[in-house]
A and B are shown apart, each in its own frame.
Chain A
């Protein structure tokens, strides 16, 4: 190690190192660069103290600020909720029939209900609420299993159908395959097929299935097949057949009935959301 020597050719000092007579000019890192580097160290340390990041074997250091991404999401959701509070509070406080009367609340409910529906209901009932033949009922036609008035729709969405909710819609069609013979089921299916044909009123009394229908089915489905909404009993005299309008489907449905179920949405979405969904579904063309 030698002395710093002034090099007249470059006008700079040397480091004093010499290798086989070769010297090195003293050109340190620029001061601003070193200071910037030190500042980044400091920022990194402060950041690591403030925010979570250091794992241990079983826990992690949560950071002095206590920040979490879940917490940030909650803050944002709360803020969004607070921005809607003016309408949401009114919707929560009023019955659905009153909400439908107020143009302002109705507009809010339909807009919010649409996005709620698309997120929660569309998986079964379809984006346009058209249902799926053989699976899930259409919500935009004028046929309702459990009633199409605002209060009926509200109850159905809030508590669902045939689920473990204590207030859910409950009913059951017995499997007639265990009670009637195949011939009898075939005969009653023929009879049921005539129910939706207004012109066949006279002729169907003579069908062999008439008596079987009278004895086994009319109790719930009605003498003319008008159905019973309190029990969710489908109307048989209309043109809408959820599980198919062919004789084969009807025979199958009599022998081994399929019955849809629907979860209760009030515990999951909250009362105000159910009310918004009710208004939306009611507005789709089938509402009574």
Chain B
């Protein structure tokens, strides 16, 4: 290494504030994804959907009614296991992508990254308008940060309360206290995380970097500084190592000569520092793969721009396997994509994904339960007949059932009655909210069973005569309890 030309990493001043803008392929992907994800986030609550003849918010979690609506789908608390499936699927997908392509989630899709990137973009615009050290610029920045943070929180709250009426509710004070708390807390955390702590969340708070090392392997694509090509670093006026000059020509020089020696030459890295100044987490990728690298590839764009300028081929920093950093092209092995680890995660995705799809496709629209009243287990009526009482809870998705019929199987001579109806064919009306009914089964004195016998209660749709639910339960008669 040439003395005086390179400053050791430790002494390099830590960058404060906004990283330098890079331009290139990764920047374009990142900009597209950031805009897309922000668009999804900010537009989703405003979409409308026609549901049971009414136009309502397409995606909303109605906490008081305990309903989650996703366009045409409606979820109830009993669907909660689906959430487990979704979490397993998401975790496997995350591991899958990480095993193949490194931390692309961190670099492109994580909310912390997306919001930080947006705030960086805002800061750059304002810096351009007002100048870097302008006092007014700082105020405008803070105002913009607070505004974006507030709208982030507002949009999130709009997933729980109809967003079209949320603003008037908030102003008039009619919104529930939880809405104010949510907006307050989320505004504050968004402002803190995206405007102030930014990359420190990734470096110091987030657990994901801590276990990424378990997911990366020698075949994973990561952002890599090609050591063999870049070293030794020196200013551009130092002559380039002759072996590098035509390394991609038809007749490559012997591979060994591509490795750095101690001659009076430099490698491809001119130590301009662009890779560091453009890094959102302000690391130096030339130190090798490290915890702070979120895999966004902005340093690749920055470096390629410089390579263009000094007339050298792209790829001094590139997406490659970690092992490629030290070995010249001839000695590298191509990364294998069909490996056990990603395939395993793909299998988990397949299993959990198809299980969820199957569960959604076949799930029942009925949520019903039947509970035998055990205090007392049976009632003797004046004519000596025996009655058992049950509590039936019934709810269903959609608005297509108006009246539900109740009947009993497996108990000869029995008669059924529900507490809200005196009709000869017992039935109860069913509106959209859940219904709780007292169901009474009576058998004459002579056919009353001794002790406990199994019976089946059947619910049918009175309109279509389609069976809705069957409950296996018991009927208690006198005499059985005593030996």
Contacts and interface: CB of A to CB of B under 8 A. Distances in A.
B384 A239 contact: yes
B373 interface: yes
Contacts of A194: none
Contacts of A127: 375
Contact of B379 (A140, A235, A238, A283): A140
A284 B418 CA distance: 10
Contacts of A126: 375-376
Nearest to B376: A130
Contacts of B417: 285
A121 interface: no
A127 B417 CA distance: 22
A138 B389 CA distance: 14
A270 to B, nearest CB: 25
B417 to A, nearest CB: 8
A138 B445 contact: no
B438 interface: yes
A238 B389 contact: no
A18 to B, nearest CB: 51
Interface in A122-155: 126-128, 130, 138, 140-143
B384 A128 contact: no
B363 interface: no
Contacts of B381: 141-143, 239-240
A238 B381 CA distance: 8
Interface in A109-130: 126-128, 130
Contacts of B387: 141, 285
B382 A143 contact: yes
Contacts, number: 49
Interface string B438-469: 10100001000000000000000000000000
Interface in B364-393: 373-376, 379-384, 387, 389
Contacts of A140: 379, 389
Contacts of B376: 126, 128, 130, 138
B481 to A, nearest CB: 13
A284 B380 contact: no
B419 A283 contact: yes
Interface centre among A138, A239, A283 (most CB of B within 10 A): A239
Interface string A231-243: 0000100111000
Given A128-B373, A285-B440, A239 B379 contact: no
Interface string A187-200: 00000000000000
Interface centre among A127, A238, A285 (most CB of B within 10 A): A285
Contacts of A239: 380-384, 445
A126 B417 CA distance: 23
B380 A141 contact: yes
A141 B384 contact: no
B321 to A, nearest CB: 56
A285 B420 CA distance: 10
Contacts of B373: 128
A210 B287 CA distance: 113
A73 to B, nearest CB: 23
A128 B440 CA distance: 14
Given A239-B445, A283-B419, A285-B387, A128 B380 contact: no
A127 B382 CA distance: 21
B382 A240 contact: yes
A128 B375 contact: yes
A239 B381 CA distance: 7
A284 B381 CA distance: 13
Given A283-B419, A285-B389, A238 B374 contact: no
A142 B440 CA distance: 12
B382 A235 contact: yes
Contacts of A142: 381-382
Contacts of A283: 419, 438
Contacts of B375: 126-128, 130
A238 B382 CA distance: 5
Contact of B382 (A128, A130, A141): A141
Contacts of B384: 238-239
Nearest to A131: B376
A130 B375 CA distance: 7
B429 to A, nearest CB: 9
Contacts of B380: 141, 239-240
Interface in A232-279: 235, 238-240
B438 A284 contact: yes
A240 to B, nearest CB: 6
A138 B383 contact: no
A130 B383 CA distance: 17
Contact of A130 (B379, B419, B440): B379
B382 A285 contact: no
A201 to B, nearest CB: 15
Contacts of A141: 379-382, 387
Contacts of B383: 238-239
B139 to A, nearest CB: 34
A285 B419 contact: yes
Contacts of A238: 382-384
B445 A285 contact: no
Nearest to B419: A283
Contacts of A143: 381-382
Nearest to A285: B440
A235 B438 CA distance: 27
A131 B381 CA distance: 13
Contacts of A235: 382
Nearest to B382: A238
A257 to B, nearest CB: 21
A140 B374 CA distance: 13
Contacts of B379: 130, 138, 140-141, 285
Interface string B29-58: 000000000000000000000000000000
Given A138-B379, A239-B445, 16 more contacts: A128-B374, A130-B375, A130-B376, A138-B376, A140-B379, A141-B379, A141-B387, A143-B381, A238-B383, A238-B384, A239-B383, A240-B382, A284-B419, A284-B438, A285-B389, A285-B440
The 10 closest A-B pairs by CB, nearest first: A128-B375, A238-B382, A130-B376, A239-B384, A143-B382, A127-B375, A141-B379, A142-B381, A285-B440, A140-B379
23 contacts: A126-B376, A128-B373, A128-B375, A130-B375, A130-B376, A138-B376, A140-B379, A140-B389, A141-B379, A141-B387, A143-B381, A235-B382, A238-B382, A239-B381, A239-B383, A239-B445, A240-B381, A283-B419, A283-B438, A284-B438, A285-B389, A285-B417, A285-B419
Interface of B: 373-376, 379-384, 387, 389, 417, 419, 438, 440, 445
